[in-house]
Copies of this chain bind each other. A is one copy, B any other.
Amino acid sequence: MKLNCDLGESFGSWSMGMDQEVMPHIDMANIACGFHASDPLIMRDTVALAKQHGVQIGAHPAYPDLVGFGRRSMACSFDEIYSMVLYQLGALQGICQAVGEQVRYVKPHGALYNDMMQQPEVLRAILQAVVDFGASQNLNLLVLVMATADNREQQQLADELGASLMFEAFADRAYDAKGLLVNRRIPGSVYHQQDQVVAQALAIAKGEPIKTLAEGVEVCLKADTLCVHGDNEASLQAVKAIRQALNAL
């Protein structure tokens, strides 16, 4: 069970996230590519930091919306999404190659991630871009999607296009019976107690079902990786606790 974390989300003179502190505790760094956050210099430094800690590098492409941090859905066409993913993926790969590293996977960011889970054409554009990018280099980049109670639709599309998926779950968020995240605005949807976070992380890691928020039933998620956060001191402590608990399995 790998830990992935969004990193390199500073921009110009603005700082965001505790990248230095969280990097030693994760396996996969989702690095912003300049469309929702980051710039070429910050990308270079973030890639160097990941390399130093032996952390796998993933591209974290987004809609072109710095002021909205890529969190506002934009009505983009298939061709626009296909091209913007290629562009961002290539830009990060260029910076990686300069230090002998490689992009290993792609995790769409924010509204692009949400749209991908709800609109098959968005997912198709992303998968096609990743497949085409890797084809001429015999690179098989993974695409991270959200683990739900039923990922058959995503898996079918990936199979059709020859793409490889990786599924991620969240230890600090409540789920519903469909294995979807409960909206952040609903009380109880975000876990702030470290015990609760660690418990859910362990349950997911062991393939055990987790209890849903509203229905009180259980749902089972097949996940390859957990998404963790490096935003602040509390989330950093949670990452360490999850890591320790997973190591003790």
Chain A residues at the B interface, C-beta cutoff of 8 Å: 10-16, 34, 37, 39-41, 43-44, 64-69, 71-76, 79-80, 82-84, 86-95, 97-100, 111, 129, 132-133, 135-137
Contact = CB atoms under 8 A, between A and B. Distances in A.
A34 B87 contact: yes
B93 A132 contact: no
Q: How many copies of this kind of chain does the complex include?
A: 4
A133 B67 contact: no
Nearest to A94: B90
A66 B37 CA distance: 12
Given A69-B12, A73-B74, A74-B73, A94 B97 contact: no
Contacts of A97: 90, 132-133, 135-137
Given A41-B80, A87-B94, A75 B111 contact: yes
A67 B38 CA distance: 9
8 contacts: A12-B66, A12-B68, A41-B84, A72-B74, A73-B75, A90-B90, A91-B94, A100-B136
